Structure 1
Amino acid sequence: LPDGSEILEFPITTTTLFGRRLAYCGGGYLRLFPTNWVARRIAVANRAGQPVIVYIHPRDIDPDQPRMSMSATRRFKSYVGLSTCISKLDTLLRRFPFGTLAEALAELEHSELPIYRLVRAADKWRLCRRDP
């Protein structure tokens, strides 16, 4: 991107659990948490008029992927819930209306989303949040 270009951010959907912000709708988070727990969080966000970003990586829906040698913690993070992710997505897609980011952007005011400007300083690129 050229210097001065801007990037519009769709923030990851979070909830508060035990006083801490926690992502729950994508990647390993979606694989880890029970479907009904995720669905309740989506329903709360929908009632509040907040868009919910659900994302996956191709590996999140491939229970037959090769298992690699790694620490127990990393193994848990990498492989938990692989066998149930497709059924979770299917349930959520049946239960809630979904659309594309382009459709969400058309419904939102640009001022509701953070915008970052790309600037070059001392031979490094940095993203600086632009004030609305």
Structure 2
Amino acid sequence: MNVLQIDLEPWYCDLPREQWDARTDRVIENVDRILTLLSRTNNEATFFVLEDVARNHPDLIRRIRDDGHEIGSHGYSHKFLSELSPSELGTEIERSVAALRDAGVAAEDIRGFRAPKFSLDRSTAWAIDVLEDKGFRYDSSVFPVKTPLYGMPDAPRAPYRIRSDDLTVPREEGLWEVPLSTYRVPGVDVNVPVAGGFYLRALPYRFVKYALERRIAAGHPAVCYIHPWELDPSIPRIDEYDWFYYHRLGAAAGKFRRLLEDFEFATTERYLDSVEGRPERTGPNLDA
């Protein structure tokens, strides 16, 4: 069973928060494309929703839920975890979950969290304790690669239970971590990111498919992601954004469609149910 995740955020979310209200988010039309493709290919996805989207588009969140997909939290400000304190992350989670509940998502159904920009690493390991305190079942913020922006290349490459004292050692119990998929280059012990997003746009699709097939053959799930704005090559070009935001946006929609046709995807929650059985569902504890 493979996992598909959508980081549901507006294209401008990496600008300072005070600039957001002046922009048009284009979220509805881009998510419409994703929901249509998921329906046509009979696939499911987990949508990690930024608070801004839940507040501005509650009807869209209900549509996603009613179509049978999973809703998770993507926080509030879209800041790196390193820019937050534990208490600030707790507040961001509370705001995010409250917005999702106001949009009609039951608290017990909000079981997963994605840190903005995959910013969970050794320096921000304290975030695992916050997520456990808040009652989440899993996190999906570890990318086992090394990039200038993020990554933890020595982390396990398959889902594992994680603890804050050492993010690289699988545990017998605790919060689940669901890392994004990588390809281990034979002979050189280097992980290449192939999970989706920029890498789906930049890499030849044949290589992405081959790498994911290798993971599946080894008994591990393909864990892939995309941002809705990546299917929209006409998003505004702004000076504040680096080249990689726009690189090969025109190729994303076709590659994403092929990905959905070539692989079967489920939600993160459904995958975890398949490996351990369904636990008691309590949902995030907003008072913790």
Q: TM-score, normalised by structure 1?
A: 0.70
1:93 deviation in Å? 1.0
Moved over 4 A (4+): none
**Partner residue of 1:14 out of 175, 182, 185:** 182
1:104 deviation in Å? 0.9
1:25 equivalenced with 2:206 (yes/no): no
1:89 equivalenced with 2:218 (yes/no): no
Aligned-partner Cα distance in 2 for 1:100–1:87: 22
1:70 deviation in Å? 4.8
1:35 equivalenced with 2:205 (yes/no): yes
CA RMSD, aligned part only?
2.2
- What fraction of aligned residue pairs are identical, expressed as a percent? 29
Structure 1 equivalent of residue 221 of structure 2? 51
Structure 1 equivalent of residue 232 of structure 2? 62
**Structure 2 unaligned runs (5+)?**
1-89, 91-129, 139-176, 278-288
Between 1 and 2, higher relative CO (CA 8 Å, sep ≥ 6) is seen in 1
Of 97-106 and 11-20, the range deviating more from structure 2: 11-20
Structure 2 equivalent of residue 4 of structure 1? 133
Aligned partner of residue 15 in structure 1, secondary structure: strand
Q: TM-score, normalised by structure 2?
A: 0.34
1:37 deviation in Å? 0.6
Structure 2 equivalent of residue 80 of structure 1? 247
**Structure 1 unaligned runs (5+)?**
111-132
Q: Deviations over 1:10-58 (max 9, x none)?
A: 1111112353212211211111111111000111111111111111112
Aligned-partner Cα distance in 2 for 1:22–1:43: 14
Task: Give 1 or 2: higher strand fraction.
Answer: 1
Aligned-partner Cα distance in 1 for 2:133–2:273: 24
1:108 deviation in Å? 2.0
